[in-house]
Amino acid sequence: MSYLDASEWINFYGEDEALMVTQLDNPAATEINAALIEQALSDASEEANGYLRSRYSIPVEPTRALQRWVAQIARYMLNRYSPPEIVRKDYEDAMRSLREVAKGQKNLGIETATSQPAGILGAPELVKRRGGGLFPDIDVGGV
């Protein structure tokens, strides 16, 4: 699930940029490749989810800030050959914001937040044993 669609991305950046980044291999093209934008948005949304899932149930209700970050990440992905400096800076800002959300330093302002990060189901619990190590005292047969 993407947090915005191609038409919303085009509203952020305009048709000229959408045409340019979706037709890098065919500069004479006159139609926007919306499927390429959708793929970049899907990939960018998954990237965002990697950070969000430590604090929220995925998928989250998209906020304007989250949509902007996903749009910035997708824009960077679409400028795959040589992103302009502003595109790289926006990407870095979006990633920094997502890291801050994951660390609890920034809040999306949505109510689907979990009280604690989810643990790994079925992971063994490490317990300190009386012998001082992590493993139980065992008799190894005189070794």
Residue range(s) defining the domain that contains residue 18: 6-103
In the chain, alpha helices (H): 6-13, 15-22, 34-52, 64-78, 85-103
Backbone φ, ψ for residue 25 (5° rounding): -85, -10
Identify whether 110 is part of a domain.
Answer: no
Q: What is the mean pLDDT of the chain?
A: 85
pLDDT at 77: 97
Q: Count up the domains in the chain and report the number.
A: 1
Note the pLDDT of residue 117. 47
Tell me the per-residue pLDDT of 15-57, one tens digit each, with 9 for 90 and over: 999 999 999 888 889 999 999 999 999 999 999 999 999 899 9
pTM of the predicted structure, to 2 decimals: 0.76
Task: Work out the widest C-alpha separation in the chain, in whole angstroms.
Answer: 80
